[in-house]
Amino acid sequence: MNQTPEDFLAGLRAAKLVAIVRGTDRDAATAAALALMEEGFRYVEVALTTPDAPAAIAAIRASAPPGALVGAGTVLSVADVKDVVAAGAQFIVTPALADSIREAARRDLPVLAGALTPTEVHEGMNRGATLVKLFPAFIGGPRYVKALLDPFPSVPLVAVGGVGAADAAAYWDAGAAAVGPGSPLVGDAASPGGDLDALRARARDYLRTAAGHPRVDG
């Protein structure tokens, strides 16, 4: 199942969560991503800094439960976009204003474009981003999200970087469309010998927080 950028935006707003898996081992990253999906995460990204990331994406795509989408993160170049699309990625995420944004938009592929400053937020949307990934969000916190949305009320922001389960509600209250937990969620689970049971417990914490938070359409 693929989603148009419009459907992806609506789906991510409803889910309020996108998981970020940055592993040190392909098989461990695959297992971690699938565990997150089994617990109820609908959107899971695997960073290209993970060894053999395209193979992990392909394996996740083949085994993902219905309704769960796998994306590729740290996608920087046009060649990266081609590689991850061939592997089956259903959305991409960038850490910065990279060439990959326009290429993904050209392919009608949902893209979360990395940005931090107001100028970067504006430019990310101009390049065709579906949402803007505010990274690293912990630098400014929820107050910074709210400040950015004053001049850009229609820009869907995803707060990424240091967002724990206890922090998520403050970002949603500030107007973020979603949050993207990485290490606070995944921990050591994407490395050999990592604790998948602990990952599943943390995943349930995030999902309970999202389910209990009133949805605010924007």
Catalytic positions? 45, 133
28, 30, 82, 183 from 87: Cα distances, Å: 18, 13, 9, 24
Give the up-direction half-sphere exposure of residue 198: CA atoms within 13 A in the CB hemisphere.
Answer: 11
State which amino acid sits at residue 61: R
Strands laid side by side in the 157-160 sheet: 19-21, 43-47, 69-73, 92-93, 111-115, 131-134, 157-160, 178-180
Contacts of 7 (CB under 8 A, 6+ apart): none
Q: For the chain, how big is the Rg over CA atoms in Å?
A: 16
Sign of the torsion formed by the C-alpha atoms of 56, 62, 66 and 71: positive
Is the link from the previous residue into 136 a cis peptide, with omega within 30 of 0?
Answer: yes
Report d(CA 195, CA 212) in Å as an integer. 26
State which amino acid sits at residue 171: Y
